[in-house]
Structure 1
Amino acid sequence: MSRRPTILDVAARAGVSKSTVSLVLQNSAQVKAETREAVRAAMAEIGYVYNRAAAQMRSQTAGLVGLVINDLRNPFFTEFATVLQMTLAAKGYATVIANSDEDPDLQAKLIGSMIEHGVSALVVSPAYDDAGDAFDQIARAGIPAMQVLRKTDPRTGLFPFASFDYAAGSALATRHLLDQGAKRIAFVGGMEGRAITEERKSGYLAELKRAGIAPFTHHGRSSRAFGVEAVNNLPDDVDAAVCFNDLVALGMLSGFARAGVELGRDFRLVGFDDIEDCAQVWPLVSSIGCDIESFAQDVADGLLAWMQTGETPPPEHRAPVELIARTSSTGTID
């Protein structure tokens, strides 16, 4: 080799990623012994010489965390990203934030780029339909990584998962609507068959089964536009709905307003996530509250402990939820 060998040359010879070579050079405990030996053997074979100046430049990114979100247009995910970034910043870590736009191929590219740029850890709210490529990249890099709000990779021992107790949330919403006198309750929104939809729907189904009431589900995109359309696609005997998320609920609010239907009296509605808009629109929208601020802070703390002490977060964690009852389901004005 006529030129001076680089980290990329070492990585190619050892059959590992550039990030793994960097971790070996930093004497990171995250790298397995056999991988460390393979990298050092490759360094010796090609004559790689450790460059301290370059190492100092690399250390400038040692406090860099990558955050990949499936849909930053959704205020729920935006708030999570904001709080996580601010919490990490308070501890001296910078955050690179990217939106995968529910595209698994783009997600894999974003994660690959972040790994190449030397992030110390990753937090991913994953896009669906990922064949595992994104998380396989992370596994090869050997850096701490968490799945949040959605779980697409079953290897929770390697990629711990943190979210909310969505099943309990839809159960709370359904019991509340029954207590308010609803006779037939629909579940509206969420793509059919996706794990997150089935999870958010499961409490609803269990409560209706307990009450001896037949369910009615109307699936689709989790958007305001779908919520508006859903108003015209419900059977006449449906008098209440649990929505997949607040965007669907806010869309239904607009649809019912156009139709002259009064929420809280003619139809009762509960959203999910309790984004800020629910307490700003009229009528006020009932929702399942997820304390996203505390959740994001806990995720940040768990990730920091993992990076700094090697203490891995539990494989799976579910944060509690609560019902925030407002005019759209109660008919009352607080």
Structure 2
Amino acid sequence: MKKVSIIDVAKLAGVSVSTVSLVLRQKGKISDATIEKVHAAITELGYVHNVAAANLRANTSNLIGLILRDFSDSFSIKVMASIVQELEKQGYMVFLGQPLNDDDHLERCLLSFKQQGVAGVIYLSSDATTLHLPEKMRLCPLPLVVVSQSLLEENCHLVMRDNRQAASLATRYLIERGHRSIAYIGGRENDMIRQQRLLGFHSALTQYGMVWRDEATPACSDDTHAASIVTRQLLEKNNTITALLCHSPDAMIGSISAIHQVGRTVGKDVFLTQQVALIGFEDMLHVNLTSPSFTYVSSASEETGRQAATLMIRKLKEPELQVQRITLSGQLIARESA
């Protein structure tokens, strides 16, 4: 069977080869009627556009390299899905890399991207213990967009969460509902996300004339057992605490266990002394299968992905684009736990 060519499509559609090419590349000012005729011809003939060959001829690429280092992180997974969806809408394809946590693997990943001819790289940073990118990423020769869950001190195109705003929003919400003894549970001492949220927590307390107490912000490792232990110790020492900000899903699950262990319940009624309100910092659908459903500040993961993809496309179209730093605020979703 003869291979269908772009010439065959042009003949059937009654247009020039260059017009078909412009339609395929979504370039130029082509009327809707002409575009419809070309697509109808493509469908009838079963023509398959060889994007790689077209990119090679035009010295361009519709491939974007995406680096995701932590597949266990729910935020990064949601951001990745949003990035892929947005890029595909715009005619781009994603080449995924998952280097291990060392420079050699990262270097090989970037070399692979270069060999595949990617146009740019989106890096999902998962290390919340540093303000800086790995050296290999800082030296990346390709257009680069970084997505981070915490503040980075890098001169790069950056999309990141506003952790300070999220904690301030959650704290003010609790205070305005009558809570006067609030604690922050979880996160390791060197976790930048925790540190930024504590700034927002402190700021909101100060705004309402409330006292900051270090003992009300216990750090712990990222697992439910550790969170349960520190929460129980805190509640046993201070039974006036009526609300908890939970650093992570594990911290929230651990806190629930501790609340029950000390004979209290989860709930939003500040006037019932046995109830403890809980607020998390992302939508934990697997937790919300139980009752009560949990109040949280959204992580804005879908919007983060859209912004990262849009910024990458803009950078490719405007090579001299000045460095952009986009900070996304979360939205408080009030449910049964607070």
TM-score (norm 2): 0.69
Say whether 1:67 aligns with 2:66.
Answer: yes
Q: Which residue of 2 aligns with 1:187?
A: 184
> Taking structure 1 as reference, are residues 84 and 247 closer, same or farther at Cα in structure 2, changes over 3 Å only?
farther
Q: Is 1:305–1:311's contact at 8 Å kept on the other side of the alignment?
A: no
Whichever residue aligns with residue 79 of structure 2, its letter is F
Which residue of structure 2 aligns with residue 124 of structure 1? 123
Please name the residue that 1:232 is paired with. Answer: 232
Kindly state the Cα deviation for residue 152 of structure 1 after the two structures are TM-superposed. Answer: 7.1
Task: Report SS of the residue matched to 1:218.
Answer: coil
Secondary structure of 1:326's aligned partner: coil
Give the corresponding residue for 2:194. Answer: 197
- Measure how far apart 1:173 and its partner are: 0.8
Matched, 1:88 2:87: yes
Query: Matches of residues 91-170 of structure 1 in structure 2 within 5 Å?
Result: 91-99=90-98, 103-105=101-103, 106-126=105-125, 127=127, 128-129=129-130, 132-138=134-140, 141=141, 143-150=142-149, 154-156=153-155, 159-170=156-167
Give distance in 2, aligned partners of 1:291 and 1:70.
20
Structure 2 distance, partners of 1:165, 1:151, is 8
Contact persistence 1:163–1:319 (CA under 8 A) = yes
Pair 1:219 & 2:219 matched: yes
The amino acid across from 1:72 in the alignment is: F
What residue number does 2:4 align with? none
Task: From 290, 306, 328, give the equivalent of 1:319.
Answer: 328
Larger radius of gyration: 2
Please say if residues 160 and 316 of structure 1, whose CA atoms lie closer than 8 Å, have aligned partners that are also in contact.
yes
1:278 & 1:322 partners in 2: Cα distance? 19
Structure 2's unaligned 5+ residue stretches are: 1-51, 270-274
SS at structure 2 position matched to 1:327: coil
Deviation at 1:77, TM superposition (A): 1.6
TM-score, with length taken from structure 1: 0.70
Residue 282 to residue 71, structure 1, CA distance change in 2 (3 Å): farther
Q: Is the 8 A contact 1:246 1:287 kept in 2?
A: no
Q: Which stretch has the larger CA shift, 199-208 or 182-191?
A: 182-191
Query: How far apart are the structure 1 equivalents of 2:308 and 2:212?
Result: 38
> 2:220 aligns to what SS in structure 1?
coil
Shift of the 153–73 alpha-carbon distance from structure 1 to 2, 3 Å rule, reads same
Across the aligned residues of Structure 1 and Structure 2, the Cα RMSD in angstroms comes to: 3.1
SS at the partner of 2:326? strand
CA contact (8 A) 1:132 1:153 kept: no
Q: 1:286 to 1:83 in 2, by over 3 A?
A: same
Task: Single out whichever of 112-121 and 170-179 deviates more from structure 2.
Answer: 112-121
